[in-house]
Amino acid sequence: MFQMSRRNLLTATLAAPLATQLTGFAAAQSAGGKSYPAGPDDERFWAAIAANYDVTDDITNVENGNWGLMARPVLDAYKTHTERVNRENSYFARRAYWPIYMGVLEETASRLGVTPEEIAFTRGATEALQNIISGYNKLKQGDAVMIADLDYGSIMSTMRWKARQVGAETVEISIPEPATHDVVIETYRAALKQHPNTRLLLLTHISHRTGLVVPVREIAEIAHERGVDVVVDAAHSWGQMDFEAPDLGADFIGFNLHKWIGAPIGVGAMYIRPDRLGAIDPNMSAGPDEASSIHGRVHTGTSNFAAYMSVPDAFAFQDRMGWPQKAARLSYLRNLWVAPCRAVDGIDILTPDDERMHAGITSFRFRGMISEEDNKAIAAYLLDRHGVFTVHRNGVTAGACVRVTPSYYNSAEDMSRAADAILDARTHFLG
Ligand SMILES: Cc1ncc(COP(=O)(O)O)c(C=O)c1O
């Protein structure tokens, strides 16, 4: 059983001899003549990581926000697990699967810094958050839920749906630009003060629209002082940033493992703080024996056995990079394109350089180009002219934008290519 917290494990890992701890990785270390951990700018180290990813060379992919492709060792393990599940069928599912599943759950909980009783697996962040929000039983007629423009569309809809169900109000706020640590906190403080009937607040730890990191812990404290419960959408943050679930100070959290943990598509997790289990009704399909367990708060039906079985393989690959190290690498790659672009008039960078406020994702907007069509055209230009793949995002009150999302396999050269492409597009569109 996996008993250590991830932080403890990491400390132990770093203290142990490299060659034994970093199988398959030592070559990069000795080639670079460096001791672990490698810095975020150590291209030889990161090239050795990138060598584990089979990535199309048709384009420079800096749109890794949709989901995270599996590294080859994870894909290989996933194939092996799939073959076993398929070969052994119910003989496997009814006899061997449960202990494996429980082991994976325990390891996942440990890496999130919680007990296995505090999390349940889902198929993604959406399923986790839908079940949390729909099952939330503290909202009454006349209360309010609060969402912001940078939240994720379908989760905003889930919050609106919940409010409608009970005759509550949905308060929708906008995060001002430029967003700073203080501005974001004060925006939520003022909104909560202005809407004292708020009972449930949605916070998106990393916005999929702009990449902004919301200071969840600070805002959750303010919310809790006002008796407001906090549900956090951590779809983009776990793995992209280095933290454990309790660090967020939230009541409820939805995660996935198919973005920044590199597990197969179809793995997520729901966290409910143990003393808040009673605030979430059991799922409509839960049996009576599940009423007092988090596992009764989601009911997926038959799911992808092999995907869950591959989670430890995904963790093991993440360990090769080091968790704080991969967070630092993503920020570094972000800075490589942001710095030259920010220096140019007409390009607005939608996350501040304050390290608390961004991770790897950041969006930009050409001044005055705020429509969805404008930003689709910019993304198309980057792809057609430069082979740089990004994605437009809309829904931000101040206007649509283009998102740039590097991943673990991207090189410094990829980011220079992205920066050059954006600078050329700026000249093309703004003159
Ligand atoms: C902020 C945010 N929330 C939720 C989701 C949905 O996550 P999942 O695909 O794991 O259901 C996404 C996916 O892109 C997201 O970016």
Neighbours of 339 (CB within 10 A): 13
pLDDT tens digits along 288-323? 999 999 999 999 999 999 999 999 999 999 999 999
Give pLDDT, residue 38. 77
Ligand 1 pocket member 208 (CB < 6 A): yes
pLDDT tens digits along 236-267? 999 999 999 999 999 999 999 999 999 999 99
> Is residue 323 situated within a structural domain?
no
> Is residue 75 situated within a structural domain?
no
Give pLDDT, residue 25. 42
> Is residue 363 situated within a structural domain?
no
Average pLDDT over the chain, rounded to an integer: 92
Q: For the whole model, what pTM was predicted?
A: 0.93
Find the CATH number of the domain harbouring 254.
3.40.640.10
pLDDT tens digits along 92-118? 999 999 999 999 999 999 999 999 999
> Is residue 399 situated within a structural domain?
no
Contact call for residues 216 and 188 (beta carbons, < 8 A): no
Arithmetic mean of pLDDT, 228-242: 98
Distance 52 CA to ligand 1 centre (A): 25
Contact call for residues 400 and 41 (beta carbons, < 8 A): no
- Taking CA 246 as the corner, what is the angle to CA 242 and CA 249, rounded to the nearest 5 degrees? 110
| Domain hosting residue 110, numbered range | 84-314
Distance 429 CA to ligand 1 centre (A): 31
Neighbours of 373 (CB within 10 A): 11
> Is residue 364 situated within a structural domain?
no
**pLDDT grade, residue 28 (50/70/90)?**
very low
> Is residue 220 situated within a structural domain?
yes
- Taking CA 221 as the corner, what is the angle to CA 204 and CA 207, rounded to the nearest 5 degrees? 10
Give pLDDT, residue 17. 32
> Is residue 394 situated within a structural domain?
no
Ligand 1 pocket member 125 (CB < 6 A): yes
Please determine, for residue 19, whether its predicted confidence score (pLDDT) is greater than 60. no
CA atoms within 13 A on the CB side of 208: 22
Q: How many domains does the chain have?
A: 1
pLDDT tens digits along 368-383? 999 999 999 999 999 9
Please determine, for residue 5, whether its predicted confidence score (pLDDT) is greater than 60. no
Distance 126 CA to ligand 1 centre (A): 6
**pLDDT grade, residue 36 (50/70/90)?**
low
> Is residue 240 situated within a structural domain?
yes
Ligand 1 pocket member 126 (CB < 6 A): yes
**pLDDT grade, residue 78 (50/70/90)?**
very high
